[in-house]
A and B are shown apart, each in its own frame.
Chain A
Amino acid sequence: MKLSAKWTKYLLALPESGMGYQKVDIVLSNGQIINDVIVHNAEEIELPEAFNDMKESEIYKIKLRIK
């Protein structure tokens, strides 16, 4: 999934987890949490298969994972 400018801007204000990527947890509006998700270049998010149909509007919060 490609994130919109709103989330990209948010992620760019946070440190990277490694060269070119961030590890995050995603909190959905329904309270569900998707743990340990990779975001490339602050814009491309690698979702588990089960969430392939998810829409960006369902994202409530993105939290950077602390290693």
Chain B
Amino acid sequence: MIRLSKSQSEYLLSRPESGMGFQLVEATLRGNNKHDCIIFNADMLSFLNEDFDAIYKSASRRYLAEFSDLEKSLSSDDIIRLEVVTPLYKAASFSECTGADKAPIAYSRKYEIFKRFSAFANDRRVTPDKGLLPGTYATTEDDASYVNRGMDAVARYALPDSRPAIYIFTIRPPEYTEIRRGVVEPANGQRGGGKEVIFVKGSPANTVTGPSTIPS
């Protein structure tokens, strides 16, 4: 493990924990190599051998990475940037969740983008100042990439509307926006299976753009 500098510890103490007593972090080293790490007590860093998804799924002490050769060769001076990956174990658990409404509160990550499919160009959940109202659903940018047509969205997000959801709004919330993440359950005669996100308290002004359109 690597003991972090005081300033690095102070930064970490200003960020939320990923779990009790630890933070999952992306560390940038000199040369701009990035590594997934776990940091205990905001001062002891260990490089991870598994990705964060695997760590969460293991739900065990497997996340305790081995004391690697990399760590032996480095000190805190070699770490030029630390970025806490906000409760990623929650974010990573899409496949294990049911609907987002039953999921715990999680937080959006820095630069994370979401998409909302709608049959309405004048989607009323988008506020006049281009935010989102509390309790509004969307999906992740990654999941939206599976949707090429409006009817794909109807099936993937189990929408009850027989009209194709051809309007796509893009949401860029600030980091740490409260969300719930889940997987769309079959409903309304549709299979579901897409990722869904609820913006618990909405998204602030000027975070929504669009709509763009896709074919029916």
Give residues in A with beta carbon < 8 Å to B: 8, 12-16, 18-21, 38, 40-43, 46, 67
- Contacting pair A40 B99 (CB below 8 A): no
| Cβ distance A48 to chain B, nearest Cβ, rounded Å | 13
Q: Does B12 belong to the interface (CB within 8 Å)?
A: no
| Cβ distance B145 to chain A, nearest Cβ, rounded Å | 16
- Contacting pair B196 A18 (CB below 8 A): yes
* Chain A residues within 8 Å of B125, by CB: 12, 16, 20, 41-42
In the complex, chain B residues 112-136 whose Cβ is within 8 Å of any chain A Cβ? 116-120, 122-125, 133-136
* Chain B residues within 8 Å of A8, by CB: 124
- Contacting pair A18 B124 (CB below 8 A): no
| CA distance in complex: A43, B124 (Å) | 9
| CA distance in complex: A14, B134 (Å) | 8
Closest Cβ neighbor of A15 among chain B residues? B135
Q: Does B159 belong to the interface (CB within 8 Å)?
A: yes
- State the majority secondary structure of interface residues on A: loop
Closest Cβ neighbor of B123 among chain A residues? A41
Q: What number of B residues sit within 8 Å (CB to CB) of A?
A: 30
In the complex, chain B residues 77-132 whose Cβ is within 8 Å of any chain A Cβ? 99, 101, 116-120, 122-125
Q: Does B137 belong to the interface (CB within 8 Å)?
A: yes
- Contacting pair A67 B139 (CB below 8 A): no
| CA distance in complex: A12, B161 (Å) | 18
| Cβ distance B167 to chain A, nearest Cβ, rounded Å | 10
Q: Does B45 belong to the interface (CB within 8 Å)?
A: no
| Cβ distance A17 to chain B, nearest Cβ, rounded Å | 8
| CA distance in complex: A12, B202 (Å) | 12
* Chain B residues within 8 Å of A12, by CB: 124-125, 133
Given A18-B159, A19-B159, A20-B123, 10 new contacts (CB under 8 A): A16-B125, A16-B137, A18-B188, A19-B118, A19-B196, A20-B159, A38-B160, A40-B119, A40-B160, A67-B99
